[in-house]
Structures are given as structure tokens and as C-alpha cells.
Amino acid sequence: MSNFKPNYFQRRSKPQGPKSNERIRAIDVQVIGSDGNNIGILPLNKAIELAKEEGLDLIEISPNANPPVCKIMDMGKYKYDLQKKANLAKKKQKVVALKEIKLRPGTDVHDYNFKVKNAKKFLVNKDKVKFTVKFKGREMQHINLGKDLMNRIIEDTKDVGKIETHPKFEGKQMVMIIQPI
């Protein structure tokens, strides 16, 4: 009996990035030289030969074109440039956080002022603020207190934010979202 065990579930890692050199599956390709000039449509083996002469790789830039567009360049440098572009795009994107502030219909003046001050701070930092007024038991009969509270919040935060979602009832709570100006 042999010691060999076939591994049927062996994973093969797919090559990352664009196709290059012998991995390109086209007969003819549109070739762009290493200096950026258009060389023209060439057979694949001739294009790979040109790239090898320069000590570079033939990289498929636009695989969906007819014929596919390939450029003669260094594969390592190309992957590095793609990574740099991705990192730059990630750095420039702004993630907007949603901060929640919970209140009750009978919230006192000091607590209210403190929470509105925090909400203004969040809005200045370009975060959205979700105000939630929770009603318990018999407070459900006094929904107008919650509406008054929401209107007061709108009035107090209008200099740093505008309403994204108007106050609406969801079950036993009233919800409103204010976004930064």
C-alpha cells in the first residue's frame, strides 16, 4: 500500500491582478509600447517577444476590447501603482457615522441642553445625529410632548444641521435624523 493520499479539496489560489505574458488568451492584441506609443495590432507571441527584448512584461490592460489592449511595462511597478491608487481612493473617502441621542418626553432643561450641545459637536464633526424619544406606559397618551421636544431640537440645531428624516413614530418611540450642513 502506498503512502499517497489524494487531496480532492485542494485549494488553488487564483492569480491576482491583470493577465500578463503567457496567461493572455487572445490571438492578436493591440500593443502599446513602454514609452506610451501605439505599436499596433500584433500576434500574441510577437508582442510577448517584443516585451522580453525590453526586459519587461506584456500586461493586458483592457481585456474586453476587440482586440484586447496590452501594454509593455514592468508587472511589479504596475501592481504597485494600482495599490497606490486604491490606497489614495480609500484615504479620500469620508465615512459618515450615525450618532444616536436618546431622550424621554419629560427630559429636564439641563439634560436637554447637555444632549443638544453634544449633538452640535457631532454635527460640527460631520456626523449624522439620530434623535430618539422613547415613550413608556401612559406617556403614549402625550405624544404632543415628544413632538414639541423634536421641534425644539430642530430649532436649536438649525445653525449646524438640517433635517434628513422628519420626526416619525416607530412603535413606542419617535425618531428623527439630522445631518450636518
Distance in angstroms (rounded) separating the CA atoms of residues 74 and 80: 10
63, three cell numbers: 481585456
Which of the 8 DSSP states describes residue 131?
Answer: E
pLDDT under 50 in the chain at which residues?
A: none
Please give the DSSP secondary-structure letter assigned to residue 65: S
**One-letter amino acid of 170:** E
So what's the pLDDT on residue 165?
A: 92
Go through the domains of the chain in sequence order and give each one's CATH number: 21-78 (3.10.20.80), 98-180 (3.30.110.10)
Cis peptide before 6 (omega within 30 of 0): no
Compute the distance between CA of residue 16 and CA of residue 79 in angstroms, rounded to an integer. Answer: 10
Q: Give the pLDDT score at 14.
A: 66
Query: What pLDDT is attached to residue 121?
Result: 95
Dihedral sign, Cα of residue 76, residue 81, residue 82, residue 86 = positive
Q: Find all residues with CB under 8 Å of 94, minimum gap 6, and list them.
A: 126
Residue owning grid cell 450615525: 98
Question: What whole-number distance in Å separates Cα of residue 118 and Cα of residue 124?
Answer: 10
For 139, phi and psi rounded to 5 degrees?
Answer: -60, -20
Q: How far is CA 101 from CA 10, 27, 151, 165, 167, in A?
A: 51, 63, 15, 15, 14
Residue 21 has phi, psi (to 5 degrees) of 45, -115
DSSP SS3 for 111: helix
User: What is the pLDDT at residue 13?
Assistant: 66
Residue pLDDT, tens place only, 135-164: 999 988 989 999 999 999 999 999 999 999
